[in-house]
Amino acid sequence: MKEYGSNVQKLADHIVKMEDKAKRNLYAHILIELMRQIHPNMRDNQDYTNKLWDDLYIISGFQLDVDSPFPPPSKEALGKKPLKVGYNQQNLMYRHYGRNIDLLLEKAIQTENSEDRLAFVSYIFRLMRSFFNTWNKDNPEDHVLLGQLEQLSKGKLSEEIDYIRQNGPVDAAPKDRNNNSSQERNRGNHQGGGGFKAQAGHNPERQGNNNQGNANRNRPNNKFTGRNNNGNNNNNNRNNRKKPGN
Decide which of 40 and 9 is more confident: 9
End-to-end CA distance of the chain: 139
Decide which of 123 and 205 is more confident: 123
pLDDT tens per residue across span 103-122: 899 999 999 998 999 999 99
Q: Are 73 and 49 in contact (CB under 8 A)?
A: no
CA distance 210 to 227: 29
Give the model's pLDDT for residue 30: 92
Decide which of 172 and 205 is more confident: 172
Give the model's pLDDT for residue 187: 43
pLDDT band at residue 36 under the 50/70/90 scheme: confident
Instruction: Please name the residues in contact with 56: beta carbons below 8 A apart, sequence gap of 6 or more.
Output: 12, 28, 31, 32, 35, 64
Q: Which amino acid type is present at position 120?
A: F
| Dihedral in degrees, nearest 10, Cα atoms 32, 34, 40, 45 | 0
CA distance 56 to 4: 10
Q: Which amino acid type is present at position 40?
A: P
Instruction: Please name the residues in contact with 131: beta carbons below 8 A apart, sequence gap of 6 or more.
Output: 96, 97, 98, 101
Domain positions in the chain: 5-59, 98-177
Cβ count within 10 A of residue 107: 13
